[in-house]
A and B are shown apart, each in its own frame.
Chain A
Amino acid sequence: MAIKSVKDVKRKEYYLFSPFLRIFHWLMVVMILVLFGTGLLITKPMNVAATEPVFTSLSMDLVRDIHFLAAFILCAGLIMRVYGFIINKGDRLFPRFWEGHFYSETVEVALHYMLLKSHHAPFLRNPLARGSYAMLYVLLAIEILTGFAMYLAANPASTFGTLFGWVNVLVGSEMMSHYIHHYVAWFIILFAIGHFYMVVRAEFMEGESEVSSMFSGKKVLAHTPKDANELD
């Protein structure tokens, strides 16, 4: 297979992601990393016994404040995401499980990923990826609910405290909220590793402009994706 420097291929441009989704995506990347790092530090604070603790810059107070700030920024970003969802069809990535072909397509993509099938039909957004994003949002929702339930528990009688206090009751106890918050954080990191790989793989193996689309919002494709009509 010879490498050609210039290819004369006809490509079509599909505008998918609004700036709101893209900004939210990169905001989420940074915030999840910050939240995960500070979260681990909150559960197991650094051992400062060797130094004079008063002079360390990593005080629990500061680490917690960074964690809370990042959480609020992420939640504010979610509002942008919702706005993008409303105004732009390309932002609507919820798996279309109410349509019959969703299931056969998901199975086809899964078989390809299991290396049992040499290729799968091209999609702007393949159904398996969409499913994984739905899962991510579920994980995020759990983090937000348990997070605010714990954060606002400093004053459970306040308006916001009562807004989220039921979470602690639902899961059994506030300590359980801590556990769930911590465990789900690890699942989000596992998702991130898988997501990163799948996106790079789609870019290089399947000829999808998967990586660049999260910067430009566009996919420039030589093939015609099966779900192109969803943008109309």
Chain B
Amino acid sequence: MEKRESLWEAYLRRGFSRRSFLKGCVALTSLMGFSTDMFSKVVEAAETKPLPVVIWIHGHECTGCDESFIRSGAPLASDVVLSSIALEYDHLLSAACGAPFEAHLDETIAKYNGQYILCVEGAVATKDSGVYCMSGGHTFTHLLEKAAKGAAAIIAYGSCAAYGGIQAAKPNPTGSAGIERFVGGKPVVKVPGCPPIPEVMTGVVMHVALFGTLPPLDGDGRPKQFYGNRIHDTCYRRPFFDAGMFAEQFDDAGAKAGWCLYKLGCRGPETYNSCGNLRWWQGMSYPIQSGAPCIGCSNSNFWDEDPFTDRLPKYGKLGDVDKIGAALGVLTAAGVAGHGIASIIQRNSRENLIDEEHHE
């Protein structure tokens, strides 16, 4: 792949019309979260920018993000992989394997040094020199550091790459962590979610591919256009929350009527994602719509914030903090009352002593 073609050239080669190219650009513009006045810039970039080289590596994870990615409907994942980016290396989607495959990775890194986009899925296993996650005879830490060195941009796909993920849950036996510490201080675009929404995954990589810049990020490194709002604030069940109409049980009338799932532990009020507006599978549904409270899968540390079906953690028979707090309050009140009585007895005995001294 000496001469790298642009998106427009790829369309031409395939015999697509200018009209379908422009249509594709309109879809891209809205996908990346831009307003329509950015359309001409998107067209310009799609005409001139060569397709970006992408290296996609997988660490400590379940590859569920790829499962999500291949279900992207607009654009189709196959379109992204085959005609919108030049995917040179991918652990999961590659037919090749073995030494030639690893050699190809080294070639790609050397050839496109400073130009390629590095997509990372999965956490870094940090404990015991990283031996808990290895591929090609090397630890994932080694691969990540090697690939990050020459990357133009780094995208962390999924909550694992962003924050450590499920395997970082207590007691975290493999020392799993997000990739940020292992990329040599380069900015990381975090696309958290377990998995992220497919259109968000394709949207972010297309933004970097077309404009050569990172999308606008929030303080945590997440693209603002997809993670700028809480699910709570975009949820179609929000009016039920405001009105105080809650499902109390999974099988009660409120749940049936589609009331707010807040009391069933919904994490929508703490979760930043596009589930409320983009939804999943081309807008078909999302967890809350299907009657399941959000578990906050795009949040750091969500895996340790159980139970997912309650607003407060429970401590066995002691109950939650409200129960414990009320008990402590009663105990404190009883304690100060007892202390008060003891203080009076102490003072009286002291005064009696003084009185006796006076009489003598």
Enumerate chain A interface residues (CB-CB to B < 8 A).
Answer: 1, 40, 43-49, 53-54, 56, 58-61, 63, 113, 115, 118-119, 153-154, 156-157, 162, 165-166, 169, 172-176, 178-179, 182-183, 186, 189-190, 193-194, 197-198, 201, 205
Contact = CB atoms under 8 A, between A and B. Distances in A.
B226 interface: no
Contact of B332 (A47, A169, A173, A193): A193
B332 A190 contact: yes
B62 interface: no
B230 interface: yes
A175 B220 contact: no
A40 B325 CA distance: 11
Contact of A173 (B305, B346, B350, B351): B305
Given A173-B270, A173-B305, A175-B299, 13 more contacts: A44-B311, A45-B246, A46-B244, A49-B252, A61-B242, A115-B339, A156-B272, A173-B302, A174-B299, A179-B305, A193-B332, A201-B339, A201-B340
A178 B270 contact: yes
Contact of B270 (A54, A174, A197): A174
B70 to A, nearest CB: 29
Contact of B325 (A1, A45, A169, A186): A186
B332 A194 contact: yes
Task: Please classify the interface of chain A as helix (H, G, I), strand (E, B), loop, or mixed, using the class held by over half of its residues.
Answer: helix
Given A44-B311, A118-B346, A173 B299 contact: yes
Interface residue range, chain B: 35 or more
Task: Please classify the interface of chain B as helix (H, G, I), strand (E, B), loop, or mixed, using the class held by over half of its residues.
Answer: helix
B314 interface: no
11 contacts: A44-B322, A46-B244, A48-B245, A49-B254, A60-B242, A153-B270, A169-B219, A173-B305, A174-B299, A190-B325, A205-B347
Nearest to A119: B350
Contacts of A44: 263, 311, 322
Interface string B296-310: 100111100100000
A176 B329 contact: no
A145 B125 CA distance: 33
B128 interface: no
A175 B244 contact: no
A175 B243 contact: no
Contacts of B311: 43-44, 178
B313 interface: yes
A132 to B, nearest CB: 13
A173 B301 contact: yes
